[in-house]
Amino acid sequence: MTAAAPSCTVEFRVRYAETDQMGIVYHANYLPWCEIGRTELIRRLWKSYAQVEREDGVLLAVTDVALRYHAAARYDDLIRVTTTLEGVRSRAVAFTYLVERVNDGGIDRLVSARTGLTAIDRHGALRTLPPELLAAFRNPVPELG
Amino acid sequence: MTAAAPSCTVEFRVRYAETDQMGIVYHANYLPWCEIGRTELIRRLWKSYAQVEREDGVLLAVTDVALRYHAAARYDDLIRVTTTLEGVRSRAVAFTYLVERVNDGGIDRLVSARTGLTAIDRHGALRTLPPELLAAFRNPVPELG
Amino acid sequence: MTAAAPSCTVEFRVRYAETDQMGIVYHANYLPWCEIGRTELIRRLWKSYAQVEREDGVLLAVTDVALRYHAAARYDDLIRVTTTLEGVRSRAVAFTYLVERVNDGGIDRLVSARTGLTAIDRHGALRTLPPELLAAFRNPVPELG
Amino acid sequence: MTAAAPSCTVEFRVRYAETDQMGIVYHANYLPWCEIGRTELIRRLWKSYAQVEREDGVLLAVTDVALRYHAAARYDDLIRVTTTLEGVRSRAVAFTYLVERVNDGGIDRLVSARTGLTAIDRHGALRTLPPELLAAFRNPVPELG
């Protein structure tokens, strides 16, 4: 039996500050949403990413991103971000994201994304991921149903 | 003889607001820099993108982006963005970007990026690019040397 | 008996994108938090501000802001924004805000703020507030305890 | 004879990312412009603020801001920020700002602002301003006309 890839969802509303004069969310503003998604995933798998930086001295630096925009988010939309672990190595990790709008009648797909990250220390030198985080990515303890 | 692809460079300094607690520029903040680059290219080829939206009723919506981060920009760095037309069709256009830091002694490559855009009207319906813009992309008048 | 001024609280976590290289939340980023607070207050008193813009054609433009910073918010802090109606006239409304950090052991005061807003239409001309919103500001229906 | 207060101007264009769905610059986005203004003033009076942080270990933390919005900036407007030293003490400094739009035919006043800042070290403890900066604020060397 193969374990499902670790995944989690977060929901929040679009802020006015995130729109632009096109009347939709400015395209760069989906990246902070992806960051919210992956930090929640790390929190559920181990502990908060703030603690990882502070206690373990490991920072996850973004090495590459790709986003595909299917439909536009608008102010006050209820947004759902589903983050899924794509893969992990000792020094690097990649996540995929599905950004959706939750409507009364259903769900609209807005953006699909992928980010690659690498582990560094405070001085920018390459590091390995903390062993506990690597283990949590590889063998996530399933939540009770 | 093949004409070179239209290209232009812009320079500006990193703002404090663009950094994050890692001490470097937050990864999403390179996308507005790419936007500065392509709007300057459009301005030089035809007229300001603000006029395109206002006078022609055509908006360029981002459909996909990809960024690769080679080195980090820091506060007050002098940044140079080189934007190059990758290709154009009647309804869509793509640009590539090279983001560099200008140092006393040389140039550091920071980020390479690509964005695809599609032409829409104010209601989000697909449009064709204004003919003058399409022509300018395809047959740019070379600047005098 | 004097009715209490309408007020509401919202809570959320600090995003990584909101920090700067000082390791704290960049000072401008408290203003979108105030916006979240007042839009939630409007939602509870009447309907979503998105609907006010769309259905009533009334926009609330910020005319003045003042913020006082007492302590710094940090990444991943749990933030509570308490928004209170300060006063309302037919064309203008003012809110005060208290931004706090919710800790395990208590509450830290971070920022106190005030914003004044004026009602305009889509073309920027002065308007009066929608009568229902004016009434809701002046005579809020108390929530059941 | 009284010396004029140190002052400087910077000019740049409004970015698309700085607009919101009202079609104007989002009100929080004037604060990074003020930051650009005061860092240029510090650069001209002494050295870059980046160097002040790095070489002197002194950070200027914002303690209070006030902005008054007279007219709205729009995408691609040419913006001029005039920053003037309001006053300085050993541990604190205040600046005022005038944000204007430069048109073909003249100048529009957009926003007037004031920020207070206090000197701290990397750990947030109060510090005094570097003596050279304090001196430069108090006895600016006039530029040759």
Residue C22 maps to which CATH number? 3.10.129.10
Q: What is the mean pLDDT of residues A2-24?
A: 92
User: What integer pLDDT is reported at residue A76 of this predicted model?
Assistant: 96
How many domains is chain D partitioned into structurally? 1
Cβ atoms A133, A59 nearer than 8 A: no
**A26 touches D: beta carbon within 8 Å:** yes
* Angstrom distance (rounded) from CA C9 to CA C41: 8
Site from B21, B22, B121 to mutate, A interface, most A CB atoms within 10 angstroms: B22
Please check whether residue B143 lies inside any domain of the structure: no
Please check whether residue A145 lies inside any domain of the structure: no
Cβ atoms C36, C10 nearer than 8 A: yes
Please check whether residue B145 lies inside any domain of the structure: no
User: What integer pLDDT is reported at residue C140 of this predicted model?
Assistant: 72
User: What integer pLDDT is reported at residue B143 of this predicted model?
Assistant: 56
Residue in D27, D72, D124 nearest the CB of C31: D27
Please check whether residue C45 lies inside any domain of the structure: yes
Q: What is the mean pLDDT of residues A38-45?
A: 96
Q: What is the mean pLDDT of residues C41-66?
A: 96
| Whether residue A1 has pLDDT greater than 50 | no
0.80 surpassed by pTM: yes
Contacting A residues, span 63-92, partner chain B, CB-CB under 8 Å? 63-69, 72
| Whether residue B1 has pLDDT greater than 50 | no
> Containing H/E element for A4?
none
* Angstrom distance (rounded) from CA D24 to CA C102: 34
Residues of B marked active site are found at 20
User: What integer pLDDT is reported at residue B112 of this predicted model?
Assistant: 98
Q: What is the pLDDT of residues C81-104, one digit of tens each?
A: 999 999 999 999 999 999 999 998
Burial environment of residue C103 by CB neighbours within 10 A (0 to 12, 13 to 18, 19 or more): exposed
Mean pLDDT of chain B: 94
| Whether residue D3 has pLDDT greater than 80 | no
Please check whether residue C47 lies inside any domain of the structure: yes
Q: What is the mean pLDDT of residues D36-55?
A: 96
Q: What is the mean pLDDT of residues C59-65?
A: 97
Residue C2 gets which letter from DSSP?
Answer: P
Q: What is the mean pLDDT of residues C65-94?
A: 97
A74: containing domain: 7-138
Q: What confidence tier does A105 reach under pLDDT thresholds 50, 70, 90?
A: confident
Higher pLDDT, D105 or B141: D105
Please check whether residue D26 lies inside any domain of the structure: yes
Residue in B17, B35, B48 nearest the CB of D35: B17
Site from B10, B13, B26 to mutate, D interface, most D CB atoms within 10 angstroms: B13
| Whether residue B2 has pLDDT greater than 60 | no
The DSSP secondary structure of C105-136, one letter per residue, reads S-EEEEEEEEEEEEEE-TTS-B-PPPHHHHHH
Please check whether residue C145 lies inside any domain of the structure: no
Percent of chain D with pLDDT strictly greater than 70: 94
Please check whether residue C143 lies inside any domain of the structure: no
User: What integer pLDDT is reported at residue A139 of this predicted model?
Assistant: 84
Look-up of token digits 């769905």: D21
User: What integer pLDDT is reported at residue D141 of this predicted model?
Assistant: 65
